[in-house]
């Protein structure tokens, strides 16, 4: 390689977990790359010994957020038409009418959606996003940085943030190859793409097929199947501690077996505290029958609400909260950042609990990495916090249709059957784990512990 300087663009904190707190950087150095993180997060990567260039005062064009919203709605409209499926309507967020500015933005977006909801209109909006960002001072600063540093590639860790658009456009203007990583298994059906790069890195063949379906202007030769680094750390034995030490550190009872209840954010599951209560009540009854079980409660890292407080107090003999070790920089959700400590805590929580219970998340793949089962909540509570929310809406999302067999998880179809199914799963998990593993292999390229190396292989291919 004549030029081995690689820019890893971190437009927000989402990419830290995959690209700063795994072995991704170490493997890149071993492959002979000179790595600089182009860092728009509050996190100081130099504290980890990494090269970084901080992005200062990044600001998008005033129209970009409007155009982004319009693009999303047009893409969802086209997906409904192309796939004859109204599920795409469920990915929309309601327009805001709080304050004059929000009203103007919402009305403007709705007018543009009405007149531009076509393939041709989508192309118009995509161009408007580019043209507006090229007018910003942020774009000019990105040009200056790239002209000075001359990297061989700009690799963006997340396809969603509008703050990634200007750096990518600046790189393209200078003829520097660009790539982006699709960071989550559910992102593509939701129409979350805002950056357009020369190359795309995806988790699996399944995700590649989605990318080609939703974005027909992307060609096969632009896509690299690599898997995601987020599961790599589960296979690093250096991250794992003994059961005794983990129990001591987290004040757990060594005589108990624990299941993990993994919380959702309040939008995904407004009734999550009620579900935790149901599971705790089931565990209490199991203990009355001679079992000795407890619950480790790991809340969603960006949920600091008090909605669980009463349940945690009422069932403090059953539930032990172990809070995610994320760093809260400010009140904004996108400044609540993952840490290396939490990656280790997460892996050990899985290692030293028997199974996980939650409402439909990728924790199923985290647990099957340790050959442990997952149970999905699959019923509505009687007194719902939000009358328009339902469990059925969650499991109708496109990404759950990738499940090869319903036996991949244990379905908790009512509060009455939670205890019986937990008890059964603790003694016989072979079938569930077998099908969960097949699902994992479909969603994420295997072996999962080689994802970072596959990403670097792809980068090496591009810069050659």
pTM: 0.96
Residue ranges with strand state E in 97-198: 153-156, 178-181
pLDDT value of residue 428: 86
Looking at the structure, tell me whether residues 56 and 68 fall in a common domain: no
The CATH number of the domain where 145 resides is what? 3.40.50.2000
**Interior angle at CA 368, CA 187 and CA 436, nearest 5:** 75
Residues 365, 302 share a domain? yes
Per-residue pLDDT tens digits for 159-170: 999 999 999 999
Q: How sure is the predictor about 334, in pLDDT bands with cuts at 50, 70 and 90?
A: low
Identify whether residues 81 and 146 lie together within a single domain: no
Going by their DSSP bridges, the two strands 199-202 and 223-225 should be labelled as parallel
47 and 75, same domain (yes or no): no
One domain, residues 44 and 70: no
Write the pLDDT tens digit of every residue in 212-260: 999 999 999 999 999 999 999 999 999 999 999 999 999 999 999 999 9
What pLDDT, on the 0 to 100 scale, is given for residue 330? 60
Do residue 186 and residue 244 come from a single domain? no
Domains: count for the chain? 3
Among residues of the chain, what percentage have pLDDT more than 70?
A: 98
How far is the C-alpha of 367 from the C-alpha of 347, rounded, in Å? 9
Exposed (0-12), middle (13-18) or buried (19+): which is 255, by Cβ within 10 Å? exposed
What is the DSSP code (8-state) at residue 54? E
Q: Check residue 231 and give its pLDDT.
A: 97
How many angstroms from the chain centroid is the CA of residue 182? 9
Does residue 446 have a pLDDT over 80?
Answer: yes
130, 148, 183 - which closes a domain: 130
For residues 112 and 254, membership in a common domain is answered with: no
Determine whether 110 is exposed, middle or buried from the number of CB atoms within 10 Å of its CB (0-12, 13-18, 19+): middle
Claim to verify: residue 322 and residue 199 sit in the same structural domain: no
Are 68 and 56 part of one and the same domain?
no
State the residue range of the domain holding 383: 236-443
Same domain flag for 96 and 187: no
Residues 203 and 349 in one domain: no
Q: Quick one: tokens of 134?
A: 């090229």
Q: Quick one: 352 and 366 in the same domain?
A: yes
């Amino acid at each position: 390689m004549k030029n081995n300087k690689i820019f890893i663009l971190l437009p927000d904190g989402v990419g830290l977990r995959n690209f700063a707190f795994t072995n991704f950087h170490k493997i890149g150095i071993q492959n002979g790359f000179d790595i600089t993180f182009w860092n728009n997060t509050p996190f100081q990567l130099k504290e980890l010994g990494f090269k970084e260039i901080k992005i200062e005062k990044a600001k998008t064009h005033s129209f970009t957020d409007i155009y982004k919203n319009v693009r999303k709605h047009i893409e969802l409209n086209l997906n409904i038409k192309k796939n004859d499926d109204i599920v795409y309507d469920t990915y929309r967020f309601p327009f805001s009418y709080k304050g004059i500015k929000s009203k103007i933005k919402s009305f403007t977006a709705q007018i543009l959606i009405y007149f531009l909801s076509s393939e041709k209109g989508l192309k118009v909006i995509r161009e408007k996003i580019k043209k507006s960002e090229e007018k910003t001072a942020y774009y000019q600063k990105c040009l200056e940085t790239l002209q000075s540093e001359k990297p061989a590639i700009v690799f963006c860790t997340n396809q969603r943030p509008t703050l990634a658009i200007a750096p990518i456009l600046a790189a393209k203007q200078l003829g520097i190859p660009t790539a982006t990583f699709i960071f989550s298994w559910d992102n593509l059906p939701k129409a979350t793409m805002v950056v357009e790069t020369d190359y795309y890195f995806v988790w699996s063949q399944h995700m590649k097929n989605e990318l080609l379906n939703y974005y027909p202007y992307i060609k096969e030769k632009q896509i690299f199947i690599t898997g995601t680094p987020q599961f790599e750390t589960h296979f690093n034995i250096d991250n794992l501690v003994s059961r005794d030490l983990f129990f001591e550190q987290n004040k757990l009872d060594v005589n108990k077996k624990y299941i993990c209840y993994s919380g959702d954010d309040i939008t995904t599951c407004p009734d999550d505290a009620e579900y935790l209560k149901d599971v705790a009540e089931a565990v209490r009854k199991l203990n009355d029958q001679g079992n000795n079980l407890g619950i480790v409660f790991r809340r969603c890292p960006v949920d600091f609400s008090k909605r669980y407080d009463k349940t945690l107090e009422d069932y403090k003999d059953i539930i032990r909260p172990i809070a995610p070790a994320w760093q809260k920089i400010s009140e904004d959700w996108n400044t609540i950042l993952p840490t290396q400590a939490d990656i280790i805590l997460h892996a050990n929580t899985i290692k030293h609990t028997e199974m996980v219970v939650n409402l439909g998340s990728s924790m199923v793949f985290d647990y099957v990495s340790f050959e442990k089962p997952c149970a999905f909540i699959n019923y509505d509570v009687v007194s719902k916090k939000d009358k328009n929310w339902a469990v059925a809406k969650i499991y109708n999302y496109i990404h759950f249709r990738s499940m090869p067999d319903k036996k991949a998880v244990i379905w908790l179809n009512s509060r009455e059957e939670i205890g019986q199914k937990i008890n059964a799963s603790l003694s016989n998990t072979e079938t569930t784990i077998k099908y969960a593993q097949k699902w994992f292999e479909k969603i994420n390229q295997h072996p999962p512990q080689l994802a970072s190396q596959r990403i670097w292989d792809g980068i090496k291919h591009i810069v050659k």
